[in-house]
Amino acid sequence: MEEINEKANYCLNCKVKPCSLKGCPLGNQIPNFIAQIKEGNYEEAYRILSETTVLPGICGRICPHKKQCQGSCVRGIKGEPVSIGDLEAFVFDNVTNNGYSLTKCWEKELNENRTVTTNSVIKDTTKAINNRKVAVIGGGPAGLTCSAFLAKEGVQVTIYEKYDYLGGLLIHGIPEFRLPKDIVKKTVQNILDLGVQVKYNQELGKNILLEDLEKQYDAIFLSIGANVSSKMGVDGEDLDGVYGGNELLEYKLHPNYKGKKVAVVGGGNVAMDCARTIKRLGAEEVKVIYRRAREQMPAEDKEVEDAMKEGIKFLFQNNITKIIGTNKVEKVELIKTDLVQKEGETRLVPVNVEGSNYIIEMDYVVMALGSKADKVVSNLGLQLNRWGNIEVNEKYQTSNPKIYAGGDIAGVKSTVAWAANSGREAAKNIKDYFTDKLKTNLVNL
């Protein structure tokens, strides 16, 4: 507790609040909740956080804090920033362990919004959406957040989840050593206790169809993620021993790495999670191959540092040109890169250095270069963007006004906080959609 108090007291509670206004995708009122920690008012700190997020125990642990809130902290200009993530995680852990929940925190709002009006002509539109039903497809960060904020407004929410658990990538995409699963389970239970219903083992395009759900629900929120690993398009990519990083983490169908050499291609957190997981599973050597410099890596610095401490090697400014083998991976051909400034580009671009090719022995190659949407998305009858994601407007509304989308499937920035932001904002806009329809109906009475 002494350490937490020290971290809280380090915050200056500055008036500008760049950590909240500039750094936090969710707009959490950071100095305000930290001020409550200083006073020992942990439930009030949680209440302040719950105005903008339902994932504090998760985001406090896995957000790229140095690129977001802590990267904008005033104290970080001349020294170390405030440990915002640690303080956020502490608040969730403390109140949860002491029996305080989201239901208790939102008790007043829940009671008000669940009150059913019996007037034949409803005048108070803010209390007239409690008979509306919303289907949320996918129980990851975006879907969970959308469900919680809709339930807070009295909307009847049902989550359709393809697995027999909720959490999405929080469970199957982020290793236990980065995010303890009991934290995810507590977060999920917090949300289900709001009255959210779940139908498990329901997969869009297989045993549930969008057109059927449209007939049953007043609105739909799609948050099925985009977890199909992208490919490089190099020779040898179809050899046995080449895997997609997203699929390895999700389905855990790892080969036997004992005594083997593994190359992980990419520079994001998925690449770090793959490399560190594979090393833990007994690989003799793991090399991360990244075509840019370390300072350009999208992965959190801490994840890179931890990977290095665990013995993972990094080949910066290197790129794979070919994967070599008869039937399975035996070697990879690499080429060195230079970083140059090109007209119209906002950052340095990697360019292959002619004649710098070399070959290293390798047993497995893992592609962790990014991800794309599952092919089911192209069969939904919704407009897609040029990357194959569902096209949404500023309200997260698709080409079908009754259907909303958020998270990776809508091309939202690939962090949990940004996905949660899209879910929260979609919930707000779905509520407004219901209210506007009600107002129109009242005018026509």
Q: How many CB atoms lie within 10 A of CB 384?
A: 16
Picking from 98, 73, 92, the residue whose alpha carbon sits closest to that of residue 83 is 73
Reported as a single tens digit per residue, the pLDDT across 359-416 is 999 999 999 998 888 889 999 999 999 989 999 999 999 999 999 999 999 988 778 9
Same fold, 120-226+374-443 and 229-371: yes
Q: Is 221 helix (H, G, I), strand (E, B) or coil?
A: strand
Half-sphere exposure of 110 (CA within 13 A, CB side): 16
CB proximity list for 264: less than 8 A, separation 6 or greater: 245, 271, 274, 275, 278, 286, 287, 288, 289, 366, 368
Intervals of the chain under pLDDT 50: 117-123, 445
Domain spanning 2-100: CATH 1.10.1060.10: yes
Name the E strands within 218-375: 219-222, 228-229, 242-244, 261-265, 285-290, 313-316, 318-324, 331-340, 349-352, 358-361, 364-367, 371-372
303, two tokens: 């994840």
Q: What is the pLDDT of residue 408?
A: 93
Find out whether 257 and 365 touch, Cβ atoms under 8 Å: no
Give the angle subtended at the CA of 63 by the CAs of 57 and 66, to the nearest 5°.
130
Q: What is the pLDDT of residue 129?
A: 65
Find out whether 318 and 346 touch, Cβ atoms under 8 Å: no
State the Cα–Cα distance between residues 85 and 66, nearest whole angstrom: 10
Q: What is the pLDDT of residue 56?
A: 98
Reported as a single tens digit per residue, the pLDDT across 419-439 is 999 999 999 999 999 988 777
Domain spanning 229-371: CATH 3.30.70.100: no
CATH code of domain 120-226+374-443: 3.50.50.60
**Structural domain boundaries in the chain:** 2-100, 120-226+374-443, 229-371
Name the E strands within 341-394: 349-352, 358-361, 364-367, 371-372
230 DSSP assignment: P
The residues pairing with 242 across neighbouring beta strands, listed in sequence order, are 365
Q: What is the pLDDT of residue 441?
A: 61
Q: What is the pLDDT of residue 300?
A: 87
Q: What is the pLDDT of residue 438?
A: 74
pTM for the complete prediction?
0.93
